[in-house]
Amino acid sequence: MTRLLLLVPSTTYRAGPFTDAARALGVDVTIACEEQQTLTGLLPEALLTLLFGDPQAAATAAVEFAREHPLDAVLAVDDGATEAAAAIAAALGLRHHPPAAVAAARDKLRCREVLAGAGLPQPRCWLVADDAAPEAPPFPCIIKPRQLSASQGVMRADDAGELREALARLRALLAQPAVARVAGEGLLLEEYIPGAEVAVEALARDGAVEVLEVFAKPDLGEGPFFPEETYVAPAGHDAAQRELVAATTARAAAALGLSEGAIHAELRLHDGRAWVIDIAGRSIGGLCASVLRFDGVSLEELLLRHALGRTLPPLERDGSAVGVRMFYPPRAGTLRSIKGQATAEAVAGITGIRITAHRGQELQPPPEGGAYLGFIFAAGETAAEVVAALAAAAAKLDIRVDGQS
């Protein structure tokens, strides 16, 4: 029987879509987590404990497991497990991005160094260690952690005072043990690149990068924080802009060595160029992939088919316009309730709402927080219709935190 090893960080929302995809393909799944599960002893072929933060140790354990339960594919659900998945795939000879490429993409400093060597348009970047910062940083500038995702810890500063405040705020965040464990060493300071930002979902096959979709981010502001709320496709670009985005994504992937698997990139269009803000050897985060179908096939199933070397569907997204809106806690505190879901789902164009937070959960909004409360999905004839439907539905949700009445 064909078997998938699925690496699942504890904070992910995406285990379900991947296991559903495996079920649709008749593939058995072994779930790998960092903490031992209660039923591991009773279901040794279905559950595995791996140290995602130590890729080589994870690979050694997976190779030992595969002696009794052969593995045909390995996929990481989110950022925190991508390096371990790459190491396991390399040890077992499975289809995947090389470990060095995944590690370079995940480390924002190393990524900047590699892309600079390849001449890619990107922000200038400095490593901030201890209490030091560049003597004359460019303003406005961006301060960010080295390895976090979902815009967690990303802040804009327009002058020296704001920079001091942002650095203090970010260091306080990174002092939290759970955050420090995955954030990497040091902070990055980057020049701020203006312009419209897009998210690119792509697939690398034998080194060739094929763009699956480009999302616009119509409500991404200019700071001081950068929560990503709305993704909508098509992004509304002309042919030249589409080619620029695709070519820049392919150049960045090639420079890093991302050659076999999912690619997710963030680019800004400015001054006639596409500037690389971020790129990763994984698929789109959260539940945003829910709006993507290719001849009826989900993105998760498409990625699993690729990992197994099976035939892929046509790489052209189904439908006209689609979008997703991620919503965040309005302030720090304990989630009491989210009401109005039925009313929001009744808005024309809304195709579903998924609440991912739970009552009693301790929450923080961006920039300290990196978790969503949930996702709203929509489809329509035009991107404008989709954005309007998402905004209307979001306005009908009543989110109560702490002692709100």
Do 50 and 80 share a domain, yes or no?
Answer: yes
pLDDT tens-digit map of 264-274: 999 999 999 99
- Alpha carbon distance 66, 47 (integer Å): 12
pLDDT tens-digit map of 40-62: 544 568 999 999 999 999 999 99
**Structural domain ending residue among the three candidates 69, 103, 137:** 103
* Residue 184 pLDDT level (bands cut at 50, 70, 90): confident
- Alpha carbon distance 69, 71 (integer Å): 6
Do 98 and 129 share a domain, yes or no?
Answer: no
Instruction: Residue 129: give the domain boundaries.
Output: 124-191
Greatest pairwise CA separation for the chain in angstroms: 61
What are the DSSP E strand ranges found in 8-133?
Answer: 28-33, 47-49, 73-76, 125-128
Q: What is the pLDDT of residue 370?
A: 83
Candidate ranges 4-13, 39-48, 349-358, 366-375; pick with highest mean pLDDT: 349-358
Is a pLDDT exceeding 70 seen at residue 403?
no
Q: Are 230 and 182 in contact (CB under 8 A)?
A: no
Q: What is the pLDDT of residue 306?
A: 98
Mean pLDDT taken over the chain: 93
- Average pLDDT score over residue span 334-346: 97
**Would you say residue 203 lies in a domain?**
no
Do 86 and 140 share a domain, yes or no?
Answer: no
Q: What is the pLDDT of residue 14?
A: 80
Is a pLDDT exceeding 80 seen at residue 208?
yes
Torsion of CA 35, 39, 45, 47, to 10 degrees: -20
Least confident of 170-174, 196-200, 203-207: 170-174
**Would you say residue 272 lies in a domain?**
no
Q: Which helix (H) or strand (E) segment is 249 a member of? A: helix 239-256
- Average pLDDT score over residue span 199-225: 96
**Would you say residue 244 lies in a domain?**
no
**Would you say residue 52 lies in a domain?**
yes
- Average pLDDT score over residue span 223-245: 96
The CATH number that applies at residue 340 is 3.30.470.20
Query: The sheet that has 273-280: what strands, in order across it?
Result: 273-280, 261-270, 196-205, 208-216, 230-233, 321-327, 374-380, 350-355
Number of domains making up the chain:
3
- Alpha carbon distance 396, 301 (integer Å): 33
Q: What is the pLDDT of residue 135?
A: 74
Find tokens 């306005």 and name the residue.
395
DSSP 80-91: GGHHHHHHHHHH
* Residue 319 pLDDT level (bands cut at 50, 70, 90): very high
Is a pLDDT exceeding 50 seen at residue 36?
yes
Using alpha carbons, select from 263, 204, 235 the residue that is nearest to residue 322: 235
The CATH number that applies at residue 143 is 3.30.1490.20
Is a pLDDT exceeding 60 seen at residue 38?
no
Do 10 and 78 share a domain, yes or no?
Answer: yes
Do 81 and 13 share a domain, yes or no?
Answer: yes
Q: What single-letter amino acid sits at 41?
A: G
Q: Are 386 and 323 in contact (CB under 8 A)?
A: yes
The CATH number that applies at residue 97 is 3.40.50.20
Q: What single-letter amino acid sits at 106?
A: R
- Collapsing DSSP states into helix, strand and coil, what is residue 377? strand
Q: Are 47 and 64 in contact (CB under 8 A)?
A: no
Do 332 and 380 share a domain, yes or no?
Answer: yes
Do 13 and 96 share a domain, yes or no?
Answer: yes
- Average pLDDT score over residue span 129-133: 66
Parallel/antiparallel/unpaired status of strands 196-205 and 208-216:
antiparallel
Do 157 and 89 share a domain, yes or no?
Answer: no
Total-model pTM: 0.95
Parallel/antiparallel/unpaired status of strands 47-49 and 28-33:
parallel
Query: The sheet that has 155-157: what strands, in order across it?
Result: 125-128, 187-191, 141-145, 155-157
Is a pLDDT exceeding 50 seen at residue 39?
no
Do 330 and 379 share a domain, yes or no?
Answer: yes
* Residue 183 pLDDT level (bands cut at 50, 70, 90): confident
Q: What is the pLDDT of residue 405?
A: 45
Do 37 and 87 share a domain, yes or no?
Answer: yes
DSSP 122-163: ---EEEE-TT---SS--SSEEEEESS--TTTT-EEESSHHHH
- Average pLDDT score over residue span 59-75: 98
**Would you say residue 130 lies in a domain?**
yes
In this structure, the chain runs to a length of 405
* Residue 131 pLDDT level (bands cut at 50, 70, 90): low
**Would you say residue 337 lies in a domain?**
yes
Alpha-carbon distance values, 85 to 103, 149, 219 (Å): 11, 18, 33
* Residue 132 pLDDT level (bands cut at 50, 70, 90): low
Q: What is the pLDDT of residue 45?
A: 82
Do 11 and 65 share a domain, yes or no?
Answer: yes
Percentage of the chain exceeding pLDDT 70: 96
- Average pLDDT score over residue span 236-248: 98
- Alpha carbon distance 193, 222 (integer Å): 10
- Collapsing DSSP states into helix, strand and coil, what is residue 74? strand
- Alpha carbon distance 259, 204 (integer Å): 5
**Structural domain ending residue among the three candidates 157, 175, 191:** 191
| Burial track 229-245 (b if 16+ CB lie within 10 A, e otherwise) | bbbbbbbbbeeebeebb
**Would you say residue 350 lies in a domain?**
yes
- Collapsing DSSP states into helix, strand and coil, what is residue 22? helix
Q: Are 3 and 71 in contact (CB under 8 A)?
A: yes
**Would you say residue 396 lies in a domain?**
yes
- Average pLDDT score over residue span 90-111: 97
* Residue 133 pLDDT level (bands cut at 50, 70, 90): low
Is a pLDDT exceeding 90 seen at residue 9?
no
